[in-house]
Amino acid sequence: MIKVINVVGARPNFMKVAPVVEAMRRRAAEFAPLVVHTGQHYDARMSGDFFRDLGLPEPDVHLGVGSGSHAQQTAAVMQLFEPVVLEEKPDWVVVVGDVNSTLACALVCAKLRVPVAHVEAGLRSRDRTMPEEVNRVLTDQIADLLLTPSADADRNLLAEGISAERIRLVGNVMIDSLLKHLALAGRSKVREELNVEGRDYAVVTLHRPSNVDDPATLSRIVSALAKISERLPVVFPAHPRTRRMLAEFGLLGSFEGGGRLRLVEPLGYLDFLRLYSGAALVLTDSGGIQEETTALGVPCLTLRENTERPVTVEVGTNKVVGRDPARIVREAESALALRRDGAPPRVPPLWDGHAADRILDALLERQR
């Protein structure tokens, strides 16, 4: 029996951990899972709603760290996570993704010499101005088991001198959640509520500091979205940080007057899945959404200068277009002109809904 602490902290963690915890509960003769929530995200719309939608059990331990500067947040997670590890004495700790909670918990384990596995290891944007890139590189250096979603991630790790024995290609566990919840999301009425059912519409998400914290950049992106909304309705579920910045920079006016460019509250997992799965186009700076649109064959424009997920461009529907408004509008027009032909989407190998069981098998194999 392997005792495992599964760490969640922020919104993009929940859909990666849910299938792992579910598989551990199913394989209860082999695994005893605990869930620790650091509290990096705490609003119901950023956290609690995802536990409900994904059927994640209530956390066994909630650290309640909340927001702060990177140093404050990372340090607070470390200070509060260390006693939990000392008390619970797990055989493994599983961390996912690239948020501050991921690095903080991996670092605690490395110092206590408790084995730690990193799910979604090996992704690299090669852009050290992204806090997530720093979190990825450092977590992969100190984790004992690196569970990768795609072959490019294995190559990145090997190129950094990490030995092949520490690396296992398991596929994309976020796609386990997506495939499992697709039918259930069909019951969501979000398209009707937003009055886009049966129509062409676009969906936007933005939350990267590089896009939303600078007034000039954010205002240029909003001007591109306004232009695109002349062609089709654009729905923008805004991260709390983004909404705050739009208000601070005096940009909320672009979304007023019941026009075709609409700012809405962040959506839960099932409502958001229902919304983007029917979109003619998605524009985003998220990492996970690049993968989810690839899995479903929905055209995606990534409003960044780079991606740590190149397989979504090489195999999938993603295109990295930067932040120049004229280019965003041009790329949106050409993506919309290419009507989808109904053929099944091209999906990278092992994005098949069974990554969680491969993760558990890799843990068992290392335990022996």
The catalytic residues are: 207
- Alpha carbons 190 and 237: distance in angstroms, whole number: 12
> Could you tell me the smallest distance in angstroms from the CB atom of residue 153 to ligand UD1?
17
> Could you tell me the smallest distance in angstroms from the CB atom of residue 74 to ligand UD1?
9
Find the binder of ligand UD1 among 22, 49, 120, 132 (CB under 6 A): 132
Residue 43 near residue 201 (C-beta atoms within 8 A): no
Q: Is the CB of 43 or the CB of 365 nearer to ligand UD1?
A: 43
| Residue 302 engages ligand UD1 in binding (rule: CB under 6 A) | no
Dump the DSSP string for 72-117: HHHHHHHHHHHHHHHHH--SEEEEETTSHHHHHHHHHHHHHT--EE
CB atoms within 10 A of CB 207: 18
> Could you tell me the smallest distance in angstroms from the CB atom of residue 241 to ligand UD1?
4
Secondary-structure percent of the chain, ordered helix, strand, coil, rounded to 5: 50, 15, 40
- Alpha carbons 117 and 247: distance in angstroms, whole number: 40
| Residue 10 engages ligand UD1 in binding (rule: CB under 6 A) | yes
Find the binder of ligand UD1 among 27, 32, 46, 155 (CB under 6 A): 46
| Residue 304 engages ligand UD1 in binding (rule: CB under 6 A) | no
Three-state DSSP string of 36-51: EECCCCCCCCCCHHHH
Find the binder of ligand UD1 among 100, 139, 229, 293 (CB under 6 A): 100
Find the binder of ligand UD1 among 124, 136, 168, 207 (CB under 6 A): 207
| Residue 11 engages ligand UD1 in binding (rule: CB under 6 A) | yes
Task: Please say whether the dihedral angle defined by the alpha carbons of residues 151, 157, 163 and 166, taken in this order, is positive or negative.
Answer: negative
Q: Is the CB of 130 or the CB of 298 nearer to ligand UD1?
A: 130
Backbone torsion region of residue 106, taken as left when φ is above 0, otherwise alpha when ψ lies between -120 and 50, otherwise beta: alpha
Find the binder of ligand UD1 among 41, 262, 274, 304 (CB under 6 A): 41
| Residue 138 engages ligand UD1 in binding (rule: CB under 6 A) | no
- Alpha carbons 300 and 332: distance in angstroms, whole number: 9
In the region spanning residues 234 to 273, those forming contacts with ligand UD1, defined by CB under 6 A, are: 239-241
| Residue 72 engages ligand UD1 in binding (rule: CB under 6 A) | no
Q: Is the CB of 41 or the CB of 191 nearer to ligand UD1?
A: 41
| Residue 99 engages ligand UD1 in binding (rule: CB under 6 A) | yes
What is the DSSP code (8-state) at residue 56?
P
Q: Is the CB of 115 or the CB of 237 nearer to ligand UD1?
A: 237
CB atoms within 10 A of CB 1: 9
Interface positions with ligand UD1 (CB under 6 A): 10-12, 40-43, 46-47, 67, 98-100, 131-132, 207, 239-241
